[in-house]
Amino acid sequence: MCRWLSTAQEVTMRHFTFTAEDLDAIRHQRYHHPHPRVQQKLEVLWLKSQGLTHQDIARLADVSRRSAQRSLDEFLDGGLQRIRRLPWKGKVNELAAHHASWEDYFLEHPPRSAREAQTAIERQTGIRRSLTQVRAFLKKGMVQIDPILGNTTVLRRPHPMRCVSIPGRLA
């Protein structure tokens, strides 16, 4: 191997130091973090803390070498907080702003079907959603509709300030 090449590699080689707290967090969260992409980045950090080369890290973490380098760059720039950050945002749920008013409306007027709920939502807000989206919106805690019998069960989540405990009875 040429001497100038090994010297160039030594100059560009970065050294990573991981505190005991960082290693404990990485060890745990690489399997328990809710987002798989963050788990993958934490796996890259764990492998780096074990002294592996970038080539071996990329192979074992099943990422490209460049992705492994990006994860390491993120760690250098902002630590574990930067690794845990998700840079993209999903769409804003337009119906979420109406959640409280819909809960009250559907408690007073329980729909018999998802189609009836869809019509009511469109009539009052002007927002048209597919039946699947309406079912998902209703299922988040307001109304459950039995598709076969057409029975409607209104589910009201107890508000913490409205809960009153009676001695001798379960709340």
Q: Are 154 and 143 in contact (CB under 8 A)?
A: yes
Is 10 a residue whose pLDDT tops 80?
A: no
23 or 142: whose pLDDT is higher? 23
31 or 89: whose pLDDT is higher? 31
**For residue range 105-158, what is the model confidence (pLDDT) as tens digits?**
877 888 888 899 889 888 888 888 898 988 887 776 555 555 555 555 555 544
167 or 44: whose pLDDT is higher? 44
Q: Is 144 exposed, middle or buried (0-12, 13-18, 19+ CB in 10 A)?
A: middle
Q: Which residues contact 150 (CB under 8 A, 6 or more apart)?
A: 112, 113
pLDDT of amino acid 83 = 92
Q: Name the average pLDDT for the chain.
A: 78
